Amino acid sequence: MINLKEFKSEVEKELDNILNYWIEHAVDKEHGGFFGKITADDTIIKDAEKGLVLNSRILWTFSAAYIHNPKPVYKEVATRAYEYLLAHFWDQKNSGGYWSVDYLGNPKQTHKQIYGQGFMLYGFSEYYRAFNDKQALDKAIELFQILEQVAFDKKHGGYYEVTTADWKIIQDTVITQGKEDQKKSMNTHLHIIEPYTNLYRVWKNQHLAKQIRGLLRDFSEHIVDKQTHTQHLFFADDWTVKSDIVSFGHDIEASWLLVEAAEVLGDKRRIEPVKKLAVQIAQASTKGLDTDGGMFNEQDPHHLNKEKHWWVQAEAMVGFLNAYEITKQKAFLDHSLASWDFIKKSLVTSTGEWYWGLDGNNVPMKKQDKAGFWKCPYHNARACMEVIRRLS
């Protein structure tokens, strides 16, 4: 297995490959912004709808890339994403971001998915970090204040899933799969604590700090199972568990994002307990590892989903490295290196970017997007930047 110097060097090259792919293939020069869909064989679907998550993640990625390595082209792409979000996704009447626009930039799905608002906030706050654009910070703060007003459950804590365009809570069909008894999800909470943490880096607001502490408490008390140290996926309003599925990728991703939140918050009383929890989650997620170093998608009591999606492998690379940094246990480092080895052999394509994943028979999923509504440069580019930062 490679040493840490080689690990860092290889990941640096891969980061360049990922970013260059999006620069060269994803920019929609005719209609603005970025193409909504690119197939596994690099065919551009020019009339595909453009999603809030994709565009917000591009904004975050290239803003973060500029902080990592200030190339002018990274600023160009980040600014393109920022300006397109404001011009086409931002609801000028009600604020917040539409879930999608058509390929021409007209509003298409106008509901306000809280998950999507989180990623928009994540992108705005990172753009401010990179370029000190006051408007971006103002928009991030505006989103935070709206989410606290309309999506925060003041009785039980936590956040609801979706609202109408004018911010009235409605039944979710995207994250919680349309099941009426599922009012809250692990996934949305993970991607609320993530942007809130990023906003707190640049805006030391006490209410924001309180809400991050509350989110950390939600994870330790409700979301992470105290016996198995895996995360429950769905909940009723009062945090009654409504799911028996284990998502290995979300577990290993949460393990390091929760530590990041505690450290950015700077609350020393919380950092060590969160680190302990993170290691327990990382250890539990090893049950999702295959012998080839890849991580399976998810498992319920009756079935193991053996697909190996791109984002799961990226998060495994970081999550296990994080667990190694905390414990210095070589097994965690070996898992991180094995994740990278699997990625190199199975997911990286000759033209750049990664396949969506491997199916249950370890065959590349070539019918799935290489770029699209959910397939973005955020998981894998962020994983590369995290590995480089941690090994520097």
Tell me: the pLDDT tens digits for 349-358?
999 999 999 9
Q: What is the pLDDT of residues 63-80, one digit of tens each?
A: 999 999 999 999 999 999
Confidence of residue 267 (pLDDT cuts 50, 70, 90): confident
Residue 43, classified by CB atoms within 10 Å of its CB into exposed (0-12), middle (13-18) or buried (19+), is exposed
Query: For the chain, how many residues are written?
Result: 392
pTM: predicted TM-score of the whole model, two decimal places = 0.98
Strand-pair partners of 152:
159
Q: What is the pLDDT of residues 155-182, one digit of tens each?
A: 999 999 999 999 999 999 999 988 889 9
Kindly state the average pLDDT of the residues 32-45.
Answer: 98
Is domain 4-391 given the CATH code 3.40.718.10 in the classification? Answer: no
Distance CA 34, CA 40 (A): 17
pLDDT value, residue 260: 98
Q: What is the pLDDT of residues 10-24, one digit of tens each?
A: 999 999 999 999 999
pLDDT value, residue 178: 85
Distance CA 367, CA 357 (A): 10
pLDDT value, residue 1: 75
pLDDT value, residue 224: 98
Kindly state the average pLDDT of the residues 29-56.
Answer: 98
Check residues 188 and 177 and name the one with the higher pLDDT. 188
pLDDT value, residue 62: 99
Question: Which long-range contacts link 88-91 to residues 24+ away (Cβ below 8 Å)?
Answer: 88/32, 88/33, 88/50, 89/52, 89/55, 89/120, 90/139, 91/165
Q: What is the pLDDT of residues 96-132, one digit of tens each?
A: 999 999 999 999 999 999 999 999 999 999 999 999 9
Distance CA 237, CA 278 (A): 25
The domain limits of the chain are 4-391
Confidence of residue 271 (pLDDT cuts 50, 70, 90): very high
